[in-house]
Every structure is written in structure tokens, then in C-alpha cells.
A and B are shown apart, each in its own frame.
Chain A
Amino acid sequence: MSVIVVLISFSLLIAIGFLIAFLMSVRSGQFDDKYTPSVRILLDDKKTDNNINNSNINKENS
């Protein structure tokens, strides 16, 4: 049965890992604004050339 102890401790460790990831994401402000990122991801990278920018966005919008 001791294998259960190992399994449980691993599962707990993984769960704690996810908990920490969640707490950090809250801390970094990811839950402060849940709307803007959804728009931002559709806008193009800041560094791309302007013309490429235009055509990409037109495609997305159409």
C-alpha cells in the first residue's frame, strides 16, 4: 500500500504546483482585466511592417 503514499504525495505536489501557478497569475494582474486581452490578441504585433499589418487585419475582419 505504500505505493499509494508515493502517488498521493506526487498528486498533491502537482496540485500545489497548479495552485501556485494560479496564485501567481492573479498576482501578476491577469484576472484584473479579462476583456482587453481578448481584443489585443487579434491585433497584430507591434513590430511588423505597416502594410503587412493592414492586410492581415483586413483578413481578420472580413
Chain B
Amino acid sequence: MSATLFPFLRTKSLSPSVLLRGAHSSRVSYAQKIQAHNNSKFKRCYSQFRSTQDRTAVGVFTPTAAAVFVVTGVGLFYYFRHEKAKLLEQRQKEMEEKSVGRAHVGGPFVLTTHDNKSFSEKDLLGKWSMMYFGFTNCPDICPAELDKIGGIVTSLEKDYGRIFQPVFISVDPARDSVPQMARYLSDFHPRILGLTGEYATVKQTCKAYRVYFSTPPNADPAGDYLVDHSIYVYLMDPRGNFVEAFGQSSTEEEVVERVRKEIGKWEAQTGKKV
């Protein structure tokens, strides 16, 4: 802060050289030189700015001070905005990386939809998905669970719109061809997407999703047999991470309530519903 710039702030008792002298005794001579220089300069300037000082004697608020104030204010505003954005980004990143207490359910897969399109785990991103594994010749549990999923999707879509993707993955690929899946699913909620594929692909997908099933690899496509399999409905978040598994005993209302809670948590963290 030079005396020529801020003459109104200078007082003899509080010159920077005095403060310097107190703090660094080794620099006394240098500081004294500066002070001597400043003082001589100050004396010259003092007379020069005397009239200015008189005018500003009412206070320290000069156009210069105002400018410094505004610049500092604007600077701080942008600084804090930047810091806040950085913090939010960090929190989001933490959430993405959060893996403690989360089951490792899910993984990469490429299967075929009931309308004969390729579908991978990446196509699930950006939506809350409900995944169920079963087969079309299932006597009673699968159709009941699929009807339950349909009811859940209907009531959730009323409030949130189409941000849900129910998926039915076949564990009986020998019999569940693409047209078979299409005919079967025409009886259920229109949003339910059927997935089937090669035995090996289905097996690998089931492994990633921790789903057990009993179909042998060489099953007769025309045979009359049942498949023993896990009957959980998985809820996955818009980033494809596992959230919860619902068993047969979970009612439609319970699942809807839980999904609402999860969307609320998600919204609090990301500012978005998906």
C-alpha cells in the first residue's frame, strides 16, 4: 500500500515500516531506509494531496475505496460460487463411488428385447428400473409378480412420469424366443420390456444379478417343464446401481413407498429425479 495511492490511510504512528521493524529486527536498517524514503516522499505528496485529504475528511469512502469494495465483493461472489459448485461435484462423485453397504448386483449384458432390438445394461441408465427374472411357462408366481410390477409402475408414473423401466428377463431361453416373449408380454403392462438371448448370455446375466435358475443348457424347446428360479424384483437407480430386492411378500404399496423414498433421497443429492 503506497502512500501515493492511499494518502488518506496514512498515519505516522502506523506506517508499515514501523510494523516491519517490530517483526523483523534483522531488517531494521532496510526498513528504516524505506521509511526515510517514504517519509520524504510522503512529505512531498502530503502537500500535493492535502486538498484531496480535506475533501475526504468526512470518511474513508472514496471512489477508489468503493471500486476496491465492489471488485472484492464481485470476486468473492464468484469465488464462493465456484467453491460451492466444486463441493457439489465432489459430493456427487462420492455418491457415485459409494460402494460400502451396496450389494454387487448387476453387470454388463447384451440381450434382445421382445421387439427384436439389442439391449444392454447401458440402456437402463437414466431411469429407475425394476428387474424381474422368470419364464413364460411359469404357472403362477411370475404372472403375479409381473402384475404387481405393472401396478407399481402405473401408480408411480402418475406422479413422476415415465422415468421407470420395468424389465422381464427370461431364464428359459430355449422356449422363450423373441415372438414368444412378445405374445406373453401383451397380457401385461405395456411398459414391461422382455429380454431373452442365447443360453450362455442369459446364464452370464443371471450370474451378474445373483439369480439362480435350474434350466439345463440342452432343454427341449417343445418340452413341458418348469424352471426353478430366484423370484426377487430388483430396484436399480438411474446410474444402474442396485438399490433393493423385493420378495414375493412385499406388497405393491410397500414397493411404491420405498421407491418414492429413494427418489426423494436421489433428488436431495442430485437435484433431479433421475
Question: Do A and B form a real pair?
Answer: no
Residues of A within 8 A of B (CB): none
Residues of B within 8 A of A (CB): none
